[in-house]
Every structure is written in C-alpha cells, then in structure tokens.
Amino acid sequence: MTGIAQKLASNQKQVAISEFFEKNKHFLGFDSLARSLITAVKEAVDNALDACEEARILPTIRIQITKVDAQKDIIRMIVEDNGPGIPQKSIEKVFGQLLFGSRFHAIRQSRGQQGIGITGVVMYCQLTTGRTTHVRSKIATEPTAAFVDIGLDTRKNKATKANAGREIWYNEDGTGKEHGTEVTAEMKAKYQKGRQSVWQYLRMTSIVNPHAEIIFTDPDGERHHWTRVTERLPTKVESIKPHPHGIELGQLQRMIAESNDLNLNHFLLNNFSGVTNRARKELCEAADIAGTRKIKTVKGDDIRHLLEAFQGERVYNGLPVKLLKPPTNCLSPIEELLIKKGLSKTIDSRFVSTLTRVPSVTQGNPFQIEVGLIFGGAMAADKPVEILRFANRVPLMYQQGGCLLTKAIESVDWRQYGLDQAGGRGVPKGPAAILVHLASTNVQFTSEAKEALADNAEVMEEGRKAMLEMGRGLRKHLEKKKKMAKTKEKFELINDILPAIAKKSAEILERPVPELSGSITKIMSAVICETTTEWNKQTKHTDVEIILFNYTSRVRAYTILATWPEKSGAKIEKNGTGGRKEALGVWAWKLESLQPGEKKVIAYSLSGLERGDWTETEVLFRGTQDVIGATKMDEKFLQEIRRQEQIMDENGVDSPEAEDEDEVVAEPEPEKKEVPKMPAEEMVEPTVAPPEGQRTLFGGDD
Amino acid sequence: MSRTRTAEETKTAMHKVVAEMYDRIVKGEPPTMTLPVRTKTNIGFDKKLGVYKYGKKQSVRDATSLGSAKQLLRTLHVVEFIEEMLDAGKSSTLREMYYISEGWGMGKFGSQNDSNNLAEDLEIVTKCLREDFKLRPEEDGARMIGNLTLRERNRRGEWMRINARDDVGDSGYGVPYNVELEKIELLEHDIDFIMAIETGGMFDRLIENGFDEQYRCGLLHLKGQPARSTRRIMKRMSEEWDLPVVVFLDGDPWSFRIFASIAYGAIKTAHISEYLATPSATYLGITADDIVAYELPSDDLSKKDVEALNAELTDPRFADSWWQEQINMMLELGKKAEQQSLAKYGLDFVTETYLPEKLAELGLA
C-alpha cells in the first residue's frame, strides 16, 4: 500500500473519489472490464482467506458470478465465506474506509499488499453502476446476522450506509449459518475465460491455499469445486520490526514523528530488528548524534544522517555498522508437501516435485522462494509450460514476461532436465507447469500494477537455484522411469517368458521341465531393488517396502538409504530392520550380506502424513555393484542436505542478540503480536483504529 | 534335384534347435539359438556351387533381453505348430501362421514380417525348406508365356500337360508356389532363351508385339522382387533345358538387387542360394550406359537411391568390375530410368531396336 499512501499523503487537496479512481485505475486493478471483475473477486477472496487465517478457521469460500445485464456489461458478484464475521459496527469501516499507513510498523508477510482492498470494489461498483454493495455478516456470539448497504457519496466523498438491519441467516440446506461474511456487489465488468480469468485466479488461489475449499459458480451456472486437501492452516506469522537496511527516508521520518521513545538509544533498540546494543552505539556515532538526544529533537539532517548510517554510507571506525540479519520467522511459506497437494489436486499429472528454499535476506527484508514442478499427464507436450507465479500466496496473472520469477525460470537450461527449450533460453516447452512463490515481508513490484516482481539479484539467485534443484529432480524421475521400464522387462523375462520357454521346450522334447534358477541369475546378473510407497487406509500411515533381490552369483553388501519427508514432520514407525538416521530425511540400513538368489525386505511405515503426501520414496545405495532400481549415493547430495539442515537449525535460534557482548541497556523483549481474543475484531484492527494524524479517503481530517 | 525331407527328418532337425535351448537351461545358462549372421557382411562366393552363401559368422540369440527371449519362445511355438501340421498332413500360409499366433499368448508375433523372418531363421538353422515345414508363401509366383511345355499336378492329383503359348490366355501360365518335381515336370520347349521382365507393363508390351515368337524366347514376369518359386523355376529351366536367362529390369539400384538375387542369391535366402539362384543369368538392361546411349528420360536419384548404390559398392555380389563401373556411373549421372522410358521413341522401339541390339551383344539375336 506504500505507493498509493504516499501519493495521497503528498497531495494536500482532498481528492475527488471519481477523479482518484480514474487517475489510478491501472494500478488499482480496474483498468479493463475483464480485469475489474478479477480484482473484485480477488479483494473479496483475499479478505475471506485472511480473516479465516487470523481466526484459525478452515475457509470455505463460495463465489458466484451472474450476468445481470449482458448488453450493458453489468455483473453481479457474490462472495461468501465461513470466516469469523464482522461485528455490526465495524462493517462500514471495513468496507467503506480507505486507510493507509497502518501497516508500516507491522512488517510481515501479508496478502493485503496489493490494491486498496475491498473498499476499492465498493467504490468501483458505485461509480460504474451507481449501486451500493450489500454486506451481510454474522459472528458466532450473536444469534442474527447484520446487514447493510455500503456506498459512497461522490459529491461529499463520504461513505454512506443504508438499509441496515438484522436477520437470521440460513444456509442453502436451511440450517442457520454460524458465522461468516457475504458480499454482493454489482459492477460494470466482463466475464471471460482462459489464462486471465476469475476461474484461473481461483484455481491458482486454490493451489497455494490447499487448506481452503473454493466453490465457484460461473455465469453459465457451472460449478467448479476445488476441495480442501489439508486440515493444516498456514503457520501464523510473527510481525517483525523493520530492519535498518530496508528502510526509506519517508518511513524513518514518520517513525520518528510517531515515536514515544525517550531518546534515540531507546528508539533504535525498540523499533528495529537486527540492531544490537553494540550496533546501537555504533549507529549513533556514525550518524554523529548523541544516543541520549530526545527523540523529538531528531529532525531534518539528523534523520538523513541516521539513514546514511543505516545504509553504511556513514561509517564507524572506517567500516559500515554491522547489523544482524532480520529474523525469518515472519515468513509463512506454503511448504513442499502442501504445494504438492495443491498442484496435484488442480492439475492431473504423473510427477510432482516441490521445493522450499531456506529463508534468505535482501536489503533487510527476509524472503523465501518456493517452487513446484508438475510433469506429464494430460498437459500438452508441444506448448510452453504453464507458469504459476505467486507473491505472498497471491496469484500474479498479468505481465508474465517482465516478472523476475519468469526470468528465474528462463535462466535455466531446461534441456538438460528433459524439457524442450529453443536455444536453452526462454520459457521451456513440455507437458509441465512450473510454480514459483515468493514469500517476503516486502515484495518489490515493477510497477504499481503489482503484477510483476522487480529485478533483485538475491531473489533471482535463490529462484534460479531452486529451479536447478527441481530440474535435477525431474531428470532423476525421467531416468528412473526409463530404468524401471527396463527392470520391468527383465522381470517379465524371468517370470513369464523364461518359464514358458522351459515348459514348451520340455514338452516338445518330452523331457522334464528344467530348473530355472541358474538361468535367471545369468540373465539378470544384477542386484535389483523394487520400492513401493503406499497409503494404508487402516493405519493412516504411509507404508514403504524396499525389496532387494540378488540375481548375481556372488554375495553382495550394501548400505541402502531411503528418503522420507522428515522436514514435514513425518516419523518412521515399525522399522523392523533398524538402521540409523543418516541426515535430515535420509535413513540408512546396512546389509552385511545378500546371498546369491537371496531376497531381503526393508519395510517401515511413515506416520504424521496425510494421504497423497508421500508417494515416491527415493532409494539410494552405497556399494560397488550397481543396483537396478536405486541410485548410487552421491555424497554431495548428503552434504547439501546437511548444509540446509544447518541453516535451518541456525534460523531456529530465535534470539538474534545472542552474540551481543556488552549489556548496557536492558533489552526490551521482542514485541510479539498478541493472539487476539476476538478474531473478528482482530481482522478489522487496521481500519478500526487509525493512528492519529492519518486520514481516510472517506472523509479526511481537513 | 529335390531336397525335400520327410516329416521325421524335419522333426529331428527342429528338435536340435529346441534341444539347444533346453540344454542351456539345464546347465544354468540362458537359453540360446545359434544362427548365421544374415547380412551382406556374412555372405561369400561358394566356388563349388557358383552362388553366394552364408559364411561362418554366427550370431547367438540369447534370452538375456526381453525381445530375444520372446523370439525364442515364438520359435518354440512355431516348431510345435509345424509338428502338428506334419502330423495332421496339413499346410498353412505364413499369413495364416501369423494369425494363428494370436493364440500363443506371450509368444505371439508382433507383425507379419516377424513371422516370415522366423520361418526363414528356422529354415537356416535346420537346413530344411519351408516346404518341409508345410508353410506356404502368400505371394503368387510369376507369369510365363512362350513355347514351352510342362506338366503340373492339379488339386485332384492328376497331371495336366500345359503349353505356355497355346494353352494359356493373355495373362500366361501362372507359376504355383511349389515348383518341385512332385508338382511340376518340365517336358519340352522350342525356344532359345528365357527373358525375365520386371514390370507387368513391359511384359504385356512384348507379348502384344509378338516378341516371344519372333525371337523364340520364353517371357517371365518377375513381379518386382521375385518370389522363391519364380527364382526356382528359372533355375530349373536354365539347368534342365540348358537355356540362357537374360534379365530385363528398370535401371535403378533396386533392379540391381533383383538381379543379384536371381543370379547370385539373395542375402535373406543365402542358405538356399544353390537351390534358387541362376548363376548363368545375364543383366540385359536398363544399364547406366543405356541411359546415356539411348538418351532415356530419367529421374534424379533420391537420397535412398544413393544410399542403396553406395551399399551395393561394398556388397560382395557386386564386386566385379562391370558392376562397380555401372554403379559408379549411375552415381555420377545421378539419374535412374524405367524400362518404359524406352517408349520415348515409340511403342515398338523396345522390340524393334533396343532389345535386338542388346541381345545381339550377347549373341542371342
């Protein structure tokens, strides 16, 4: 919201709403009739998802689009959720007030970084159709739902409300609705199909919100149902304070102006992440301001000097002041398994690989890249792959070519991983879809339209690394498929064809059927590994069975290693063959001797997973003789796992101040966001209590 | 010269093949079938027989890959099927066998070509003929016209005397698939040579022009790559009546191959070359120099044509200097010509000018 807020803040005149809209419609998301509808749906659905997430409710969202007047392009949108609901007195504030600036202090990953929220939709409807937006909402503690029509007075630039009342809210099946919100809006808009459509937006939303159930009824009356594939809500994100590396002058000025801190020392320690006591001292010296200066007296050039100290332009002892990295627990990645589920439920395919990189930092802002690749199945093999871009779980549907996430995909030579790509550049072709998600506290866009991510070397590098790793996974999968086909052939040979040859030749010669084991050993002349990974309905576990056959004439010895999703919380159970943990998500068993003709079975179950979470176990081996059906252990692979493990452990340590040596000033506890007692209140918190000195579009303070 | 074997001999020969597989399994080895390499790298000239035969290179088909193993299983099914036919006194076409294989489960053929090749494999290894196996080819034999008389035993077992000029219509005498002694006897003739012709159009042209009577010859329509029975009857006429055989084909690399299979033996049937090939046959035309000498309308060689010509250069059957010269000349020209391109000079040119000139070179006209 920063961009719009600043624009408005710098404008002393009261802005006429219609003029404001007309001037800014391209970045408000209302620049075309088709896009306006998507934006409206997006704002309503984002609100619903956010409210449910805050209240820890598994969302069920119904969206209905109907054509009211096809000739005049009037469309009605109804979005209903099962969120906590909004108390009656807050409804008009949520829907009728445009507020900016409230989130400056709350640095965290949030959906609401785009557009101006649902208020924009109310404005758009009023301006294009002259109609108000009908809102109905019910909270669990009240017996009835509140309803009201929200509009705006374009002459006075004020929000209006009318026809307020209360009613009993019945569900379709006649039962009473417990809680939720429903928005009915009529606007000038066009419903269209294809890559840039409401359908695509909802489909993408469902991929990255696997915990949500989304039911969409399109203008033709057709129902699209994206089911909920996990009961797990996204992890609750912690707010963090801004990091000095990521701050701009205007923001610093505002923070200082609003500060209640005693002096600069307190201000620096209380309001920033990554500033230790040592750093606090050094920053003051670099900025050439006494730490004991009253904060109200820090003005003008002082602020600029402080910013220069933040950015390392002013130095301490000839060096920029060292700051700790910001904590990364403010990010809420979707996580590998859930992306996998989201993709699998939406796109029919044969292979899904997902990857969540460990968090990283750019310009004081923590970020994290997640990627997913889905391959095979019904997707077209001769078309460019489908690219699914997301920023903080919000689908990006426009300006694909100019987006950093697309560039990260294009920077990889996909030919080595089994996809077509002319000249090894550009968007690859093949039966695949590639998902990229950037989770960040500060998503940088190329323009106010907020549809394409701006270039950033660190984010690009992370994205590229993720692609490479995923590409390797795809290649391995394709190689494995080939090998499996070969192994299958061999098994057909020894299980079906060879016995038939023995039987038939014996019949023709009228001799006894010969014993086959000798021939089988000679034909296979290999150690073969067969792996099955299956969901067990009874135990709700994932059963894994690794079978090794020694079809050679010698005794063999191996260490067999198998992957399991430890990161996602899976535990190995009923592992009768013992072994030990080799690394994060890698278990190892030592097979001292596998006699010629011997078969050994390693069987275990994985608990803590849902159906479909884990469908393919990768089996690796250490040993001299090749094992068909398993991959030779690449020790680099283990090193990489251990490296990631280490990074994760480091991130797990919550106190960045640990390395601090001197204890002069008592460290204030990092301010943790309180879990709200009233979820409904919490959801509207930013709009209910606008900080002093800030204004709304609806009735400014002039 | 008949090489027909009795049912018992055929069975014994086939059992050897089966026993090779069986014994290997008993020894704890993958079952195998050993057979000569069937490419041009393994054919050599047999001085005693005057034809090209398979050399000593052996390939072993063993059951270590699924494809080979299936091939062995099919072989066993074929052996069993032939034994059943031998016992029941029946015969079948190769195509029928292909369809019968539908019931062989894992041993069924993938294509008709598979079953043809396998029948040949079995002939080669057992040194039997497919007639011994009671397997008939689908393809029909050649047509013949000319003043020659033979005796054919018909379906009712009666011998019929047929003169291939007086007792036949315009399509001539149809050569049956079996031309062995028990079926065909060559009685008498009043001709000076036999001319084998590639295309039906040219065959009909020569008949219409009365070429067979004027030049006292027997005309034989090859129908492209000649069937075994066609080659066999040419061989018999050439040997039993001591008649020269001249071969009149298109002027392209594929015609050269047809000639090689008539005169020297085909690569696919090199195991029975001495039985099918006519070493005394002469290539009459169209030669590469004919294209130039007669200024024949010609087509450019295709990529495949060039590949075929190059392959022929290293084929031992074309190793003599005349063939090398012809092949190189055609490559140099980059052209090929059809028999019927002679019509450029009128319908009678072939019978009045071209053939008489070519035959004169051979002392046949």
- Answer yes or no: is A126 within a domain: yes
Min mean pLDDT across A156-165, A489-498, B247-256, B332-341 is at: A156-165
Q: What is the pLDDT of residues A455-470, one digit of tens each?
A: 988 899 999 999 988 8
Report pLDDT digits (tens) over A405-457.
999 999 888 888 888 888 878 899 988 899 999 988 888 888 777 788 889 88
**For residue range A488-547, what is the model confidence (pLDDT) as tens digits?**
888 888 889 999 999 999 999 999 999 888 888 888 888 888 888 888 889 889 999 999
Q: Long-range contacts made by residues A332-335, C-beta under 8 angstroms, separation at least 24?
A: A332/A109, A332/A234, A332/A235, A332/A236, A332/A237, A332/A439, A333/A368, A333/A370, A333/A437, A333/A439, A334/A208, A334/A210, A334/A234, A334/A370, A334/A393, A334/A437, A334/A439, A335/A370, A335/A568
Per the domain annotation, does A468 fall within a domain? yes
Q: Which of A393, A404, A401 is nearest to A370 (CA)?
A: A393
> Cβ of B22 and A492 within 8 Å?
no
CB-CB under 8 Å, A509 with B25: no
Residue A299 lies in a domain: yes
> Looking at the partner chain, which of B28, B79, B106 has a beta carbon nearest the beta carbon of A500?
B106
Q: For A127, how many CA atoms within 13 A lie in the half-sphere containing its CB?
A: 19
Same domain? A53 vs A114: yes
Query: Measured between beta carbons, which residues in chain A are less than 8 angstroms from residue B77?
Result: 504
**CATH code at A305?**
1.10.8.50
- CB neighbour class for B166 (10 Å; exposed up to 12, middle 13-18, buried from 19): exposed
- Shared domain for A251 and A188, answered yes or no, is no
Q: Which residues of B touch A501 (CB under 8 A)?
A: 21, 25, 31, 63, 69, 72-73, 76
Are B23 and B129 found together in one domain?
A: yes
Q: Are residues B196 and B148 part of one domain?
A: yes
Q: How far apart are CA B218 and CA A299, in angstroms?
A: 120
Cα distance between residue B169 and residue B145, in whole Å? 9
Residues A141 and A83 occupy one common structural domain: yes
Which residues are within 8 A (CB) of A256 and not within 5 positions of it... i.e. 6 or more apart?
A: A267, A295, A298, A299, A303
Reference A167, options A177, A155, A158; nearest CA is A177
Query: Does residue B175 share a domain with residue B96?
Result: no
The reply to whether B113 falls in a domain is yes
For residue A162, what pLDDT is reported? 87
Domain for residue A332, yes or no? no
For residue A680, what pLDDT is reported? 36
A211 in the same domain as A141:
yes
Residue B2 in any domain: the answer is: no
Radius of gyration of chain A from its Cα atoms, rounded to whole angstroms? 30
Whether A264 contacts A292, CB under 8 Å: yes
Q: Phi and psi (nearest 5°) for A472?
A: -60, -40
Residue of chain B whose Cα is closest to the Cα of A506: B22
Instruction: Tell me the shortest Cα–Cα distance from B121 to chain A, in angstroms.
Output: 17
A136 and A17 within one domain = yes
CB pair distance less than 8 Å for A507 and B80: yes
Domain annotation covers residue B1:
no
Query: The domain spanning residue A425 has which CATH number?
Result: 3.30.230.10
pLDDT at A608: 87
- The residue out of B91, B106, B136 marking a domain boundary is B136
Contact A496 B28 (CB under 8 A): no
Judgement on whether residues A262 and A308 belong to the same structural domain of the protein: yes
Judge whether B80 is closer than 8 Å to chain A, CB to CB: yes
The pLDDT > 70 percentage for chain B reads 98
What's chain B's average pLDDT?
Answer: 89
Q: Which DSSP category does A176 fall into?
A: B
pLDDT 10s digits, A645-697: 777 776 654 433 333 333 334 444 444 444 334 333 333 333 333 333 333 33
Q: Where a domain ends, among A234, A253, A279?
A: A234
No. of helices (H) and no. of strands (E), chain B: 14, 17
Q: Which residues of A touch B32 (CB under 8 A)?
A: none
Structure tokens at B293: 């000498």
Q: Specify the pairing of strand B184-189 against strand B173-174.
A: unpaired
* Chain A residues with a Cβ under 8 Å from any Cβ in chain B: 489-490, 492-493, 496-498, 500-502, 504-509, 511, 514-519, 521-523
Helix (H) or strand (E) holding B33: strand B32-36
Q: At a CB cut-off of 8 Å and minimum separation 6, what does A349 contact? A: A343, A374, A375, A376, A377, A378, A379, A431, A433
Q: Which of B22, B52, B54, B99 is catalytic?
A: B99
Q: Do A501 and B72 touch (CB under 8 A)?
A: yes
* Same domain for A113 and A162: yes
Q: Which domain holds residue B85?
A: 7-136
| Lowest mean pLDDT, pick from A4-18, A156-170, A581-595, B184-198 | A4-18
Contact partners, residue A146, CB within 8 Å, separation at least 6: A87, A88, A91, A136, A137, A138, A164, A165, A166
- Identify whether residues B312 and B172 lie together within a single domain: yes
- The reported pLDDT for the residue numbered B177 is 82
Angle at the Cα of A396 (from A395 to A400), degrees rounded to 5?
145
Of A514, A515, A519, the CB nearest to B30: A519
The reply to whether B170 and B309 lie within a common domain is: yes
Residues of A in contact with B73 (CB under 8 A): 497, 500-501, 504
Domain boundary among A234, A255, A277: A234
- The CA distance from A494 to the nearest CA of chain B, in Å, is 9
- Residue A310 counted as domain residue: yes
Q: Which member of B28, B66, B76 has the closest CB to residue A519?
A: B28
- When pLDDT is cut at 50, 70 and 90, the band that residue A347 belongs to is confident
> What residues contact A365, with CB distance under 8 A and at least 6 apart?
A243, A245, A246, A326, A440, A441, A442
Share of chain B above pLDDT 90, in %: 53
**Which of A56, A372, A82, A361 has its CA nearest to residue A204?**
A372
Same domain membership, residue B154 and residue B115: no
Count how many domains chain A has: 4
Specify the pLDDT at position B129.
83
Within a domain: residue A514?
no
Instruction: Residue B14: give its domain's CATH number.
Output: 1.10.10.10
Asked if the structure places residue A343 within a domain, the reply is: no
Calpha distance A646→A640 (Å, rounded): 10
Note whether A216 and A249 are same-domain residues.
no
Q: Beta-carbon neighbour count of residue A426 at 10 Å?
A: 14
pLDDT classification of B1: cutoffs 50, 70, 90: very low
- Gyration radius (Cα) of chain B, Å: 22
Nearest to B278 by CA among B209, B211, B222: B222
Ranges assigned E (strand) in A330-462: 351-356, 360-362, 365-375, 386-391, 394-396, 432-440
Contact B25 A514 (CB under 8 A): yes
Tell me how far apart the alpha carbons of residues A535 and A55 are, in angstroms, rounded to a whole number: 32
Return d(Cα A583, Cα A565) in angstroms, integer: 12
Q: Would you call A504 and B15 a contact, using CB atoms and an 8 Å cutoff? A: no
**SS3 of A542-601:** EEEEEEEEEECCCCEEEEEEEECCHHHCCEEECCCCCCEEEECCEEEEEEEEECCCCEEE
Q: Are residues B77 and B98 in the same domain?
A: yes
Where a domain ends, among A419, A447, A475?
A475
Residue B158: pLDDT band with limits 50, 70, 90: very high
User: For residue B130, is pLDDT > 60?
Assistant: yes
Considering the entire predicted model, what is its pTM? 0.63
Establish if B18 touches chain A: CB-CB under 8 angstroms: yes
pLDDT > 90 fraction of chain A, expressed in percent and rounded: 25
Q: What are residue B136's DSSP bridge partners?
A: B93
Given CB atoms, is B33 within the 8 Å cutoff of chain A?
no
Please state whether beta strands A556-563 and A619-622 pair in parallel, antiparallel, or not at all (unpaired). antiparallel
Cβ atoms of B43 and B54 closer than 8 Å: yes
Beta carbons of B138 and B116 less than 8 angstroms apart = no
Which amino acid belongs to residue A451?
Answer: E
The residue with greater pLDDT, B180 or A22, is: B180
Residue B70 falls within a domain, yes or no? yes
* Claim to verify: residue B32 and residue B98 sit in the same structural domain: yes
CB atoms within 10 A of CB B144: 27
Please state the rounded mean pLDDT for residues B346-354: 91
Residue B89 lies in a domain: yes
| A223, A263: one domain | no
Q: How far apart are CA A159 and CA A152, in angstroms?
A: 4
In a shared domain, residues A569 and A658:
no
Contacts of A478 (CB under 8 A, 6+ apart): A418
CB A371 within 8 A of CB A379: no
- Is B99 designated active site? yes
Q: CATH number of the domain at A86, please.
A: 3.30.565.10
Query: B119 and B174 in one domain?
Result: no
Structure tokens at A339: 């992306």
Q: Which residue of B has its CA nearest to A488?
A: B66
**Chain B residues near residue A519 by CB distance under 8 angstroms:** 24-25, 28-31, 63
Pairwise CB contact (< 8 Å): A519 & B15: no
Strand partners, B255: none
pLDDT digits (tens, 9 = 90+) for A287-305: 888 888 888 888 888 888 8
Question: Å from A502 to nearest chain B CA?
Answer: 7
Eight-state DSSP code of residue A451: -
Q: List beta partners, residue A145.
A: A167
Instruction: Considering only residues A255 and A11, tell me which one the structure prediction assigns the higher pLDDT.
Output: A255
CB A213, CB A60: distance < 8 Å: yes
3-state SS, residue A57: coil
Tokens linked to A455: 């270039």
Q: How many CB pairs under 8 A join A and B?
A: 85
Asked if residue A200 and residue A88 are part of one domain, the reply reads yes
- Answer with the one of B136, B171, B202 that is the final residue of a domain: B136
Number of structural domains chain B divides into? 2
User: Of B136, B156, B174, which residue constitutes the final position of a domain?
Assistant: B136
Q: pLDDT tens digits for A107-137?
A: 555 565 444 678 888 888 988 898 999 999 9
Q: Which domain holds residue A390?
A: 350-475
Residue B7 has pLDDT above 60, yes or no: yes
CB contact under 8 A, B69 and A521: no
The DSSP bridge partners found for residue B149 are B163, B188
- For residue B184, the surrounding DSSP H or E stretch is strand B184-189
Pairing outcome for strands B184-189 and B148-153:
antiparallel
Residue B301 main-chain phi, psi, to 5 deg? -70, 135
Residue B171: predicted pLDDT: 85
What are the beta bridge partners of residue A168?
none
| B187/B113 same-domain check | no
Q: Are B46 and B64 in a shared domain?
A: yes
What pLDDT is stored for residue A664 in this prediction? 39
**Among the partner residues B63, B76, B80, nearest to A493 by beta-carbon distance:** B63
CB-CB under 8 Å, B30 with A523: yes
Same domain flag for A75 and A161: yes
Residues B74 and B108 in one domain: yes
Kind and range of the H or E run holding A62: strand A60-69
**CB-based contact B83 A490, cutoff 8 Å:** no
Domain CATH number, residue B340: 3.40.1360.10
